[in-house]
Chains A and B, each alone.
Chain A
Amino acid sequence: MSRTEQARPVERRRLGLSLLATEITVLFRRKRTWAMLLALAAVPVLVGVAIRLSSGGDSGRGPSFLTQIAGNGLFVGVASLVLAIPLFLPLTVGVVAGDTIAGEASQGTLRYLLVAPAGRPRLLLVKFLGAAVFCFAAPLTVVVAGTLTGVALFPIGPITLLSGDQVPVAEGLLRLLLLAAYVGVAMLGLTAVGLFVSTLTDVPVGAMAATVVLAVTSQVLDQLPQLEALHPFLLSDSWLGLIDLLRQPPEWGTFGTNALLQLGYVVVFGALAYGRFTTRDVLA
């Protein structure tokens, strides 16, 4: 064997934790990530200010949570989450998920990560986990900004749940975190879809747009009564189920259904992404 063959003893191989840590650090060091989180944080602030300015006359219209805000500031977070679910959250998640692989490709870093060698399955997993962290950070931002806005503008008190029971403020805050966790889980399926789309192209904007379009399409299909049989399998079907966590006791069944549905999407689109990414020619 050549000299180079014996140059060094076999080095210890590490898990991808170091790569994952860098991935998350880099994600949250980007201005774009902060801009999106700030935009999400602006939703509860706008909701709170608008209601504060118009409070007095209850028009009797609009989502029921909005009308409760004037009475209890803790509802700002709940109402804002519900408002952000159809478009704002999928938009930001779509940007992060669509960027995962295509962004690296367009930047020219994909080839260097692979030559490092990151390993294709390992890189894919790290990219998914990084985007998943964002899935939880996004609703958490809405809830935190909502609670702060609520505390600043409205009275705070025990929360009256949908079931009619009242829970103290501390438990109310816990329920808010639970809602954020529910929404975080609800966005995982979309993240897997975005990851897959991102392996198909070297143009990140295209992958982001396609992911968001799929999220919107899923919600449109969910509105068509003719497709009722299809509804339970739609990506977005469980998104608004978070309301069930505002009952006493919380309906964990809805949480489970949501988790199962999203897990299904993660498995299917994760497998598709794996199949595509591990065999594809990296020309960018």
Chain B
Amino acid sequence: MSAGLAIETEALGKRFRGRDAVADVALAVPAGSVFGFLGPNGSGKTTTIRMLLGLISPTSGSASLLGSAMPDRAAAVLPRVGALVEGPGFAGYLSGAANLARLDSADPVADPRTRKRRIGEALDRVGLSAASSKRVKAYSLGMKQRLGIANALLRPRDLLVLDEPTNGLDPQGTREVRTLVRSLADGGTTVFVSSHLLAEIEQMCTHAAVMRTGRLVAQGTLDELRGAAPDDRLHLATPDAERAIAALGAAGLTATQAGAEVVAPLAGRAIEDLVPALVAAGVRIRGIRAAEASLEDRFVALTGEGFDVAN
């Protein structure tokens, strides 16, 4: 393993019935990072996570967690990994605490003597203490999701894999998860979070990777991803929209009218160089600014607009 990678995959691929669900994925998740795994629905995020955790075997390539090859070394490495995979899964007829006790007893290195205390602490951490003896059947989706996160936190982990952790949570819950992820990361845990919500990733991650129709289309630090974003744009407020579009066209920019503004990708040009040309063309300028490319622009550029489920 390359030094300091918590997750590493090489040409990882999975075919289902002759169709590539995931192909040629080379992830490199640095230890200690909060890594966002982005992609629209159906882009192969969960399939990749299932391969990382040894639930399904790859049809090509390899994956390693914390330096150990998966799925061969699953028994040794998985106790150090906490996971939330494709939503919570619990026995409805058992209480929240009993469900956690059951899953904890399945972990061969978990100490039964400290089980009760650890379950209490994990439930406390996700704010479920009051509902711990209630049957999971009576839980709301958000509560089940919290219980799923509590399960991932039953023991101190080196790596957390959280698949859509804020799914079904209310705004407070979403914020709590963000705070929790940050505090875990501060404690040295690598956190791998998948999401289709950009804002979420932007707010809590240091690194990110983007999936599209089963392939990895970008990865790096958030700044690197933003830097590779489409050009910054010029936003011009003017009553002379047509004249402005013509003037910018003469300067080599393709401008369009967007509401009350004229917008053009800057293509590396500086605004201060464009203003004299506009003034010379008789364009009256009410306001002019450069809009920085957001991660969202980059995301949309990478994954396409609208629905784009792999077929």
Contacts and interface: CB of A to CB of B under 8 A. Distances in A.
Contact of A117 (B67, B79, B87, B158): B79
B287 to A, nearest CB: 50
A227 interface: no
Interface in B71-100: 74-75, 78-81, 83, 85-94, 98-99
B123 to A, nearest CB: 16
Interface in B131-177: 151, 156, 158-159
Given A18-B112, A109-B89, A4 B158 contact: yes
A115 B93 contact: no
Contacts of B31: 2-4
The prevalent SS among residues of B at the interface is loop
A207 B104 CA distance: 27
Interface string A112-136: 1111111100110000000000000
A29 B112 CA distance: 20
Contact of A115 (B6, B81, B91): B81
A61 interface: no
A115 B188 contact: no
B188 A109 contact: no
Interface stretch (B34-42, B48-56, B192-200, B225-233): B48-56
B130 interface: no
Interface in A12-32: 12-14, 16, 18-19, 21-22, 26, 29-31
B47 to A, nearest CB: 9
B56 A26 contact: no
B57 interface: yes
B6 A117 contact: no
A140 to B, nearest CB: 24
B6 A4 contact: yes
B50 A21 contact: no
Interface of B: 3-6, 31-32, 50, 53-57, 66-67, 74-75, 78-81, 83, 85-94, 98-99, 101-112, 151, 156, 158-159, 188, 190
Interface of A: 1-5, 7-8, 11-14, 16, 18-19, 21-22, 26, 29-31, 107-119, 122-123, 279, 281-283
22 contacts: A1-B3, A3-B32, A3-B188, A4-B80, A4-B188, A11-B79, A26-B94, A107-B90, A107-B91, A108-B87, A109-B89, A109-B99, A109-B102, A111-B50, A112-B83, A113-B106, A114-B53, A115-B54, A115-B81, A116-B79, A116-B107, A281-B56
Interface pairs A-B: 5 shortest CB-CB:
A108-B89, A117-B78, A116-B106, A118-B106, A281-B56
Given A26-B94, A112-B83, A115-B81, 4 more contacts: A3-B31, A21-B105, A117-B75, A281-B50
